[in-house]
Structure 1
Amino acid sequence: MKKIKILKKLLKLENKLNAIEAVSEKVYAARRGIEAKKKELVVMLGSKLGKSIKKLAKKFKGYEDQ
């Protein structure tokens, strides 16, 4: 009987880990998409990819540091 309880707890933990892993994969994919979009926009501005976004923004009129 005790082994069944332990097995049930193990299964619950496994389910929780699977749910966390699924969320992590979605967050990772979203982060990669955002980084790709940032790179695309920086290139559209005609700047190098290594520059800080804030340093890049200060070059343009109307930019206010937030």
Structure 2
Amino acid sequence: MAATEAGVSEFVTVKTEDEAILRTPRRVLNFTEMRSAENRSVQNLNLNLNLNLNLNLNLNLNLNLA
């Protein structure tokens, strides 16, 4: 099956963190970027939940000591 038949009409050149140069279909790159953004979103959510939990624990501790 040709790339265009698979829904891939464009290839892009990508340089990875270790300086490797790859040729990858645009839709694969878009999927990778989407997953990266999703992972950052989950990490931010976890950080916010941890900060809120710590804040609540500190407030409760301070109120109990007062």
TM range (shorter): 0.5 to 0.7
The Cα of 1:6 is off from its aligned counterpart by 1.3
- Which has more strand, going by share of residues? 2
For 2:61 and 2:32, the matched residues in 1 are separated by: 44
For 2:38 and 2:10, the matched residues in 1 are separated by: 25
Aligned-residue CA RMSD (Å) = 1.7
Higher relative contact order (CA 8 A, sep 6+): 2
- Of the three residues 8, 20, 35, the one matched with 2:55 is 35
Deviating above 4 A after TM superposition, structure 1's stretches of 4 or more consecutive aligned residues are none
Using the aligned pairs only, state the percent identity: 4
Q: Could you list the runs of 5+ residues in structure 1 that have no partner in the other structure?
A: 47-66
Q: Could you list the runs of 5+ residues in structure 2 that have no partner in the other structure?
A: 1-8, 12-23
The Cα of 1:21 is off from its aligned counterpart by 0.8
Aligned residue-pair number: 46
2:10 counterpart of 1:2:
yes
For normalisation by structure 1, the TM-score amounts to 0.61
For normalisation by structure 2, the TM-score amounts to 0.61
What whole-Å deviation, never above 9, does each CA across 1:13-59 have from its counterpart, x for those lacking one? 0000111111111111111000000100111121xxxxxxxxxxxxx
2:44 counterpart of 1:24:
yes
